[in-house]
Amino acid sequence: MKLLLASALLAAVTADRADDLVSSMTLEEKISYLGGRGMGTYPEDGWYVGTVYALDRLDIPALLYNDGPQGFRDDARPGTTTAFPSGLNIAATWDTEMAALWGDKMGKEFFDKGANVMLGPGLNVARVPVNGRNFEYMSGEDPVLGATLVPHVIEKAQAHKILANAKHWVNNNQETNRGSMSSNVDERTRYEMYYPPFQAAIDAGVGSFMCSYNKINHVYSCENPETLLTDLKGNMGFEGYVMSDWGATHSPSLMEGLDQEMADSDFMNFDNLKDMPIENIDASVKRILKPFIDVGAFDITENEQADRSIYNNVTNDEHFQAARTIAANSHVLLKNDNDVLPLGADFWNSDINVAMFGTQAASPAIGGQGSGRVDAAWTPSPLDTFKARAAGGDYGADSDKVSYYGDPMSDDDIAEMKDAAEAADVCFFWLSTMSGEGGDRDSLSLDNDVHVASVAEHCKKSVVVVTTPGAALLPWSDAVDAILVNFMPGCASAFATMDVVLGDVNPSGKLPITFPATENQEGFTEIQYPGLDDAENVTYTEGWSFGYRFYHQHQENPNFFFGEGLSYTTFDLIKATVSGQSIKVGLKNSGKATGSAVPQLYLQMPEECDEPLWMLKKFAKVSIDAGEETIVEFDLTDRDLSIWDVDNDVFEKCTGDATVRISFSANFNDDGSYIEKELTIV
């Protein structure tokens, strides 16, 4: 009770302070906060991507915005910040501690670089597997996954006296024609499938939102009163401010719910807004100022400010090691026949020969392209990392135990690879593909992987490491022994992969997205993607039936299901019990090594609720020693058991008979892979 009273008192104080500032501002000063300035305007030689100038008269500092969702982007000073793993990697950890570590270290770098708004995290749910920005988003294909992780990012980042920014609001689920296409999606689908990660960010106190380029139901996102006023600021209770994506404003949209145009005031300027109702102008300015006051961004001490500068080099070994830890924990082990991994700590001490295939080994891709790109100070390559470890020396040491072959360009190259494979004790195939902002992927195929199956036939042991910005086709998966997926793993990826393959880190990542068996296995039509009328309309006719929910509904099998991921140990689920809305399940480490399991609770709602056949509702990441047992408890809230009532604009609790499945993935093909219990919702 004391804590609640203290929070209420603090909120009242910051609201009063914001009111005092607004009441002291002239109309010109107020409107200057409703439109920003773009790149290169502050400081004198740039480079923050967005700026609102300081109001020295009232001791209000400049508002300094910067990309992005996986590290501070500084194109003018490349290498001065840490290229952290992507948002999709955070989703792959299924780990709130990794989310908190990510938010903490990124927030620290933004603060030290002098910014006070971090343009991230990205929260959109992955609807379209080929979406070019899926790597940026920490929800994967499930709203509960994103909603569980994002509060830990928000709280840790904003503890550094900066604002986080939840983006891209909303239904920005593809890059194809993003500036003109309309995402046509019904209200219930929005609330149940696409809003929950954003709602979780609101509940965690996020200070700002960014509206997206696309239209929703034929109205641009940044001037859409239904999604901005009725949904976001109304039903969802968001009290912070909404900025536009850079160039996503099409009109002076103050009355429709937009608070600030970025990066330039082409529409939200004095001439267009001076005759708007003053109460609306005041409300938006207060929405902008209050979150900065709440997090302490207007109360930076002189000592703190003296150490902050865009010119700082803020990357360091501590942050590199944090990136390494996060990357290692986001590696997903999809296959491990005959326990070829881990190689073991003594592997390099033996008389062995390792063959490494693929240019990704020598010149690794570590992150996607676009506004989320970060140029790393140092990107160790897998090839040099392996050589140094084999030589028993520091990075840069050489070893003849490791041979390297780039991507094959001819039949002769493939023949040479086969000879090398015959001579090797272990073959490593390093595969990748890339995507970025502004366009979707042409396909889910990886680059230059057609040789894998034929060369793997000649390997004693074969391991494939896949770096990908989203789902990928793995047509050679039956031909190799082990598959590791590390998504867009950041600057320390080579060290992280080494940690995993040697067994220094037991892999615990799980797929945040389904890996299909074929291109467009979900059967998106032209109505759904990319849309008819020259891709101007995309209609979400599938509702909730995308990702693993599609495969359950249509009884189809992808290559690998959402939630899948192996460990170097084994886990068993033991008897589950249900008491009211609480479900307890026993978890045992039945293997020989300490590891982390991720029990996942899927719910089949009462039939009359018209919900997905199975829907993730809860999960927990649990570390447990070999041979040990523990109890995992899942408490379902009323919200977990509710559907959106479009007539009354509320979540209404379902009642009736439901079914719970607790498993280690969404793959229910093996009856022994899950425990099923009945649940009566009252």
Q: Which residue has the tokens 């093909």?
A: 669
Give DSSP secondary structure letters for 371-416. Answer: TT----S----HHHHHHHHHHTSSTT---TTEEEE----SHHHHHH
At position 134, the amino acid (one-letter code) is N
| 630: β partners | 587
Residues with Cβ within 8 Å of residue 1, at least 6 apart in sequence = none
Per DSSP, 470 falls in state S
The continuous run of DSSP H or E covering 617 comes out as strand 615-619
| 656: β partners | 681
Inter-residue contact 142 to 194 (CB < 8 Å):
no
Inter-residue contact 545 to 553 (CB < 8 Å):
yes
Of the candidates 126, 668, 650, the residue with the CA atom closest to the CA atom of residue 440: 126
Tell me how crowded residue 519 is: count the other CB atoms within 10 A of its CB: 11
Active site residue 317: no
Q: How far is residue 228's CA from residue 231's CA, in Å, rounded to a whole number?
A: 6
**Six token digits for residue 148:** 């569980």
Inter-residue contact 529 to 538 (CB < 8 Å):
yes
| 177: β partners | none
Q: How far is residue 424's CA from residue 422's CA, in Å, rounded to a whole number?
A: 6
**Six token digits for residue 147:** 């909603």
The continuous run of DSSP H or E covering 464 comes out as strand 462-467
Q: Catalytic one among 112, 245, 384, 640?
A: 245
Backbone angles phi, psi at 112, to 5 degrees: -65, -25
Burial group, residue 363, by CB count within 10 angstroms (0-12, 13-18, 19+): middle
Angle at 184 between CA 210 and CA 92, to 5 degrees: 55
Q: How far is residue 566's CA from residue 558's CA, in Å, rounded to a whole number?
A: 17
Of the candidates 143, 105, 107, 111, the residue with the CA atom closest to the CA atom of residue 124: 143
Cα–Cα separations (whole angstroms), residue 607 to 283, 541, 654, 655, 659? 44, 20, 10, 10, 10
Q: How far is residue 458's CA from residue 462's CA, in Å, rounded to a whole number?
A: 9
Q: What is the 3-state secondary structure (H, E, C) of 446-466?
A: CCCCCCHHHHHCCCCCEEEEE
Q: Which residue has the tokens 């940026």?
A: 136
**Six token digits for residue 188:** 């219930």
Strand 117-119 relative to strand 163-169, pairing: parallel
Inter-residue contact 279 to 43 (CB < 8 Å):
no
Inter-residue contact 289 to 93 (CB < 8 Å):
no
Going through 475-531 in order, the beta strands assigned E by DSSP cover 482-485
The continuous run of DSSP H or E covering 102 comes out as helix 96-112
Q: How far is residue 429's CA from residue 462's CA, in Å, rounded to a whole number?
A: 8
Tell me how crowded residue 682 is: count the other CB atoms within 10 A of its CB: 8
Per DSSP, 390 falls in state H
Strand 354-357 relative to strand 402-405, pairing: parallel
Angle at 506 between CA 503 and CA 512, to 5 degrees: 135
User: Active-site residue numbers?
Assistant: 245
